[in-house]
Amino acid sequence: MSRPVTLTLNAGSSSLKFSLYDISGEPAQLAAGLVENIGKAPRLKADLGEGEARVARELDAAQAADHHGALSTVLDLLRQTFPTARASVVGHRVVHGGPRFSSPMVVTDGVMAELRKLAPFAPIHQPHNLAGIAAAQAAFPEALQVACFDTAFHRHHPKANDVFALPREYYDKGIRRYGFHGLSYEYVSGELKRIAPLIHAGRVVVAHLGNGASMCAILDGRSVASTMGFTALDGLPMGTRCGQVDPGVIFYMVQQEGRTIDEVRDIFYNKSGLLGLSGISNDMRVLESAGVPEANEAIDYFVFRIRRELGGLAAALGGLDALVFCGGIGENSRKIRRRICDGLDWIGLELDHDRNDSNARVISTDFSRARIMVVPTNEELVIARAAQRLLAEGQAATA
């Protein structure tokens, strides 16, 4: 007897992350993993759940020459491990939904055509997200394909937080502040509603800090401002992305250095951020242990930008009731959290160092006017829930 499952996919430029969920009730994760270095020296890593050994092995280049091959390799593994599982719906993370898509959508030919048009808005993400959808459509021709958008959570910003000071026609062309990491913010906001409803109903800044980093001001569960803008470049410095930069730098690189736009884009997306500032690594763990001035300077800038953006987002909210950390750095780096929070009593934040060092959920003191929390994010679960819901709606409509 088969059991209904959903497969969630997050396709990057050279990776394919996956999770398998049982959706006979509330989604329950059965397995998770990724194929990395697709097209180069591919490697498969997977956790196949209780009682199953973890998988970590090199792949032949032919097994993951592209996203189709990577997905086939993943499916072979999952079929061997879960022979009774039947994927009736596949959920996909799609970075950019543009002005139109403000909620998860069933993927149709028309939806795919619209998403392809958005590729220039997210050039290092969107094409690979869509390649993952195409691979899943080929592997599961009868399954429902569901797209979940990182921009959707931010689509109800006040107009003043949504525009650039450009000629008005550019807004109509889609040049606006979209914000990203929306699936992460949606999960954290939902968790706050479950574990701290009074905080959820108030003024919250969530800091999603990882290789990609951004911050979001949330009022009563709704995004009102984000550090990211038109693309996933803006705002905080990231692992290899520059964050906020004067647009005049682009003119200088093109006009004075003779660089092409593709070269500038490569610098901004792939050679900047923590990697560019330090000249050492984009990995915060490496930088924290390096003990050299270049690494320390990169960390200093990262912390400075977070503290600066926190003040601006608190102003957008009219005050602050909670600061919540998530993402790989936010959830795991005690040092970064301490450096961000120390000296912020003027905004109502008082860090308890012992709680922070023990990675407690609440890391503020009992006397802190605003709470400081660590809430591990789970974007895959948001995708699985959306896929399950749209599958149920489709089944009800045809019943």
Could you read off the pLDDT of 139-148 as tens digits, one per residue?
A: 899 999 999 9
pLDDT, position 51:
66
Q: CA angle 365-369-374, nearest 5°?
A: 55
| Statement: residue 1 has pLDDT above 50 | no
Catalytic residue among 22, 47, 109, 150: 150
- Across the chain, mean pLDDT equals 94
Q: Show the beta-strand stretches assigned E in the chain.
A: 3-11, 15-22, 28-36, 43-47, 55-58, 85-94, 105-106, 144-149, 203-209, 213-219, 222-226, 322-326, 371-374
d(C-alpha 13, C-alpha 129), whole Å: 8
Alpha carbons within 13 A on the beta-carbon side of 397? 6
Find out whether 381 and 29 touch, Cβ atoms under 8 Å: yes
Could you read off the pLDDT of 339-363 as tens digits, one per residue?
A: 999 999 999 999 999 999 999 999 9
Could you read off the pLDDT of 197-255 as tens digits, one per residue?
A: 999 999 999 999 999 999 999 999 999 999 999 999 999 999 999 999 999 999 999 99
d(C-alpha 297, C-alpha 260), whole Å: 29
Active site includes 150?
A: yes
Largest CA distance in the chain: 67
Query: What's the gap between Cα 222 and its chain centre?
Result: 17
Find out whether 200 and 189 touch, Cβ atoms under 8 Å: yes
Domains of the chain, each with CATH number or no CATH: 3-149 (3.30.420.40), 182-374 (3.30.420.40)
What is the distance in angstroms between the CA of the first residue and the CA of the last residue of the chain?
22
Q: What DSSP character marks residue 204?
A: E
b/e code 344-376 from CB counts within 10 Å (16+ = b): beebbbbbbeebbeeeeebbbbeebebbbbbbb
Q: Give 9's pLDDT tier (boundaries 50, 70, 90).
A: very high
| Statement: residue 99 has pLDDT above 80 | yes
| Statement: residue 182 has pLDDT above 70 | yes
Could you read off the pLDDT of 19-51 as tens digits, one per residue?
A: 999 999 999 999 999 998 898 889 999 999 876
Helix axes 261-270, 248-255, angle to 10 degrees: 130
| Statement: residue 288 has pLDDT above 90 | yes
In the predicted model, what is the mean pLDDT of residues 370-383? Answer: 97
**Joined tokens for residue 257:** 């250095």
